[in-house]
Amino acid sequence: MSACADTTESQVAFAPDYQGVQTRLLEGDLVSFFVQMEGARGTEDVADYAECAAAQYTLIRGYGFARHVRTNVDNMGSQWRADAVYTISPALPRGTRTIDAEVTVQHCVENGIPTV
């Protein structure tokens, strides 16, 4: 067996193609993010992309925190899409799925995930 035939998924280079973010203010502090990418390894990659967009948007609006409400992910072949909803706020919101926008944006930059 050749070395090429024995390559596992974890050995394949991750080469995502981030294809854009659409942001929609739903009501008050509730914001929807639609993201699209190719080359995701799974739902977590596209959800991370949406979270990065939410974090940057939160900072742009002058807030420091966001709370994840929901994320729906769809995959059609190599094309991945996510529709995520977050609330944004100046203070740490209640709940377990909160993000510190500055920390999250820094993590996104370090991992090469674009923001808004």
The per-residue pLDDT for range 9-61, each reduced to its tens digit, is 455 678 999 999 999 999 999 999 999 999 999 999 999 999 999 999 999 99
Mean pLDDT of 83-107: 94
How sure is the predictor about 8, in pLDDT bands with cuts at 50, 70 and 90?
very low
Amino acid at 111: N
Q: Are 113 and 19 in contact (CB under 8 A)?
A: no
Mean pLDDT of 101-106: 97
Mean pLDDT of 99-106: 97
Q: Which residues contact 73 (CB under 8 A, 6 or more apart)?
A: 43, 46, 47, 80, 81, 82
